């Protein structure tokens, strides 16, 4: 039997993405349990059957799960099930489906994205109406769905009331509502509401339910909340290469995350670490927090050259190179020591750039 040792530096800590973290130990245990013996393939297994019960308990009795491999697959396949071939989706310009999925919704999904500029990553009924027009015009892709992200790509949150207002506005105009919930758990924890209150009860028709960013090894889940709004998912999932043969390993992770309170515990910790980081760097002159820290993301503007020097120790991404804006993400295994060490490194680099440290801004 081969001895396996890590190929990477296990002391490395990063604030680039909640995808950088490993697998939550409880999820790893669940995977090990699912690995025993044989189970029927393609979703006819005991774990996927149990997942149906878990999702119904979390999102309402009509909710139906469709486990998939990844978030892009969840978004593309879920949106496809809402639309005819001539359908279009209204979304913010900053939406993940527009910016970070390599045009998969349009090229693979065959739908047109109608994007709207927003100040904070959030749509409103008024902003939706900038693209919600042209029904019956054969020259225009028909706006038949709206997509929102919770929490948004800028780390901001829709309140339950805001989601409900968008749902009512969209439905009144014959459109359906999709939610990209890659970080849904972080939003629910921050708002102090249940997953069902923020989705099914607020009028969302279909959801991309996140898992990987909150402690899973791989996999996400399309959750149909309104069965009348979605058609063909049994076929679309296979057509789009998102049907896992050994589906039990995706389902077992989702059960582990959502059956109990692991989703809540992990997201609560990630959010708390983001607040700790924002509080610490907010006291450094020369650093400006650019977005409200409402979930597990911190957005800040740094002096020129500081970000590149910091990245030699802590990995993170630029958000807008032109303005010096960066994004820092915290996750379930980010520690207080990680945050404090990072904040101290930021203070040192800002000071080295010739700016005073401390005293606010």
pLDDT score, position 358: 42
DSSP 85: T
CA distances in angstroms from 286 to 79, 166, 303, listed in the order given: 42, 38, 6
* Rounded distance between C-alpha atoms, residue 88 and residue 69, angstroms: 24
Q: Taking CA 208 as the corner, what is the angle to CA 202 and CA 214, rounded to the nearest 5 degrees?
A: 105
* Spans in the chain with pLDDT lower than 50: 357-361
pLDDT score, position 355: 58
pLDDT score, position 3: 84
Helix, strand, coil percent values for the chain (each to nearest 5)? 35, 15, 45
* Rounded distance between C-alpha atoms, residue 74 and residue 78, angstroms: 6
Tokens of 160: 């339950």
pLDDT score, position 132: 98
* Rounded distance between C-alpha atoms, residue 239 and residue 155, angstroms: 33
State the pTM of this model: 0.95
- Domains in the chain with CATH codes: 38-258 (3.40.640.10), 262-352 (3.90.1150.10)
Q: Could you give phi then psi for residue 6, rounded to 5 degrees? A: -60, 140
Give CA 331 to chain center in angstroms: 12
| Per-residue pLDDT tens over the stretch 184-195 | 999 999 999 999
- Sign of the Cα pseudo-torsion (60, 61, 62, 64, in order): positive
DSSP 285: T
Question: Which helix or strand (DSSP H or E) is residue 279 part of?
Answer: helix 262-281
């Amino acid at each position: 039997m081969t001895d396996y040792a890590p190929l990477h530096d296990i002391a490395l800590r990063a604030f680039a993405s909640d995808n950088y973290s490993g697998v939550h130990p409880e999820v790893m245990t669940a995977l090990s349990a699912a690995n025993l013996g044989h189970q029927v393939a393609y979703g006819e297994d005991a774990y996927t059957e149990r997942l149906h019960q878990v999702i119904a308990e979390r999102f309402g009795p009509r909710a139906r799960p469709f486990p998939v491999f990844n978030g892009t697959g969840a978004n593309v396949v879920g949106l496809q099930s809402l639309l005819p071939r001539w359908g279009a989706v209204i979304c913010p310009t900053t939406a993940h489906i527009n910016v970070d999925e390599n045009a998969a919704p349009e090229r693979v999904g065959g739908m047109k994205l109608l994007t709207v500029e927003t100040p904070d990553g959030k749509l409103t009924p008024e902003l939706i109406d900038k693209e919600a027009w042209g029904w019956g015009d054969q020259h225009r892709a028909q706006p038949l769905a709206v997509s929102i992200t919770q929490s948004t790509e800028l780390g901001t949150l829709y309140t339950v009331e805001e989601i409900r207002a968008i749902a009512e506005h969209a439905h009144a105009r014959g459109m359906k509502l999709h939610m990209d919930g890659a970080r849904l758990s972080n939003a629910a924890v921050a708002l102090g509401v249940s997953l069902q209150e923020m989705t099914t009860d607020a009028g969302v028709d279909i959801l991309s339910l996140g898992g990987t960013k909150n402690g899973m090894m791989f996999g996400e889940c399309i959750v149909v909340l309104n069965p009348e709004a979605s058609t063909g998912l049994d076929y679309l999932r296979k057509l789009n290469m998102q049907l896992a043969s050994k589906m039990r390993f995706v389902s077992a992770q989702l059960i582990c995350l959502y059956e109990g309170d692991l989703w809540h515990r992990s997201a609560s910790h990630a959010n708390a670490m983001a607040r700790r980081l924002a509080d610490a760097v907010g006291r450094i002159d020369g650093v400006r927090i650019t977005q409200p820290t409402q979930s597990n993301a911190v957005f800040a503007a740094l002096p020129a050259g500081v970000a590149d020097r910091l990245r030699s120790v802590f990995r993170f991404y630029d958000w807008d190179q032109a303005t010096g804006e960066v994004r820092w993400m915290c996750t379930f295994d980010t520690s207080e020591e990680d945050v404090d060490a990072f904040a101290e490194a930021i203070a040192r680099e800002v000071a080295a750039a010739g700016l005073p440290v401390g005293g606010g801004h």
